Amino acid sequence: MRRALIDNSAWSRLFSPTTVPAGRRSEVGRAIEAGDVFVCVPFLLEAGYSARNAMDHDELLCELEALPNLEIDSVVERRALDAQAQLARVGHHRLPTVDLLLSAIADRHQVDVLHYDADYDLIASMTDLRFGSVWLATRGSL
């Protein structure tokens, strides 16, 4: 697996033994251990939103903040806004803002996005953002 920014759609399914095939789970686990899976603030906020309580939130963020972080800068901000404008021109601008930000961050840092969310395929195909749209598992299989 190439270097990738992880999306909550992948993270939330990754460690469920009933959803993700064991081989894929192991592959992603090895990439995490190798430092090839990244996080960013929009992902951390989205993951933290899913916490059940304060203790769960603290444990989750402590675990996730141990992963390498990709930062948002003015280039990322501009690329996300430009991508939304490009999508608006073709009637697809109502995508989640977190997905646009992650795509722009991936483009800026030249990494893929690891996800289970068709929005990334749409962003990759209908904007000038360049990143690999990498599915955690085959679309529609989970």
pLDDT of residue 120: 98
What are the Cα distances from residue 51, in Å, to 36, 59, 97, 117?
A: 24, 9, 20, 20
Domains in the chain and their CATH numbers?
Answer: 4-135 (3.40.50.1010)
CB atoms within 10 A of CB 107: 23
Residue 47 tokens read as: 């993951």
pLDDT of residue 82: 98
pLDDT of residue 107: 98
pLDDT of residue 30: 96
Contact by Cβ (8 Å): 83, 103? yes
User: How do residues 47-87 score in pLDDT, each as one tens digit?
Assistant: 999 899 999 999 999 999 999 999 999 999 999 999 999 99
Residue 15, pLDDT > 90, answer no
Instruction: Provide CB contacts within 8 A for 98, sequence distance 6+.
Output: 8, 42, 43, 45, 46
The C-alpha atoms of residue 58 and residue 56 are separated, in whole angstroms, by: 6
- DSSP code, position 84: H
Tokens 């996300």 found at: 80
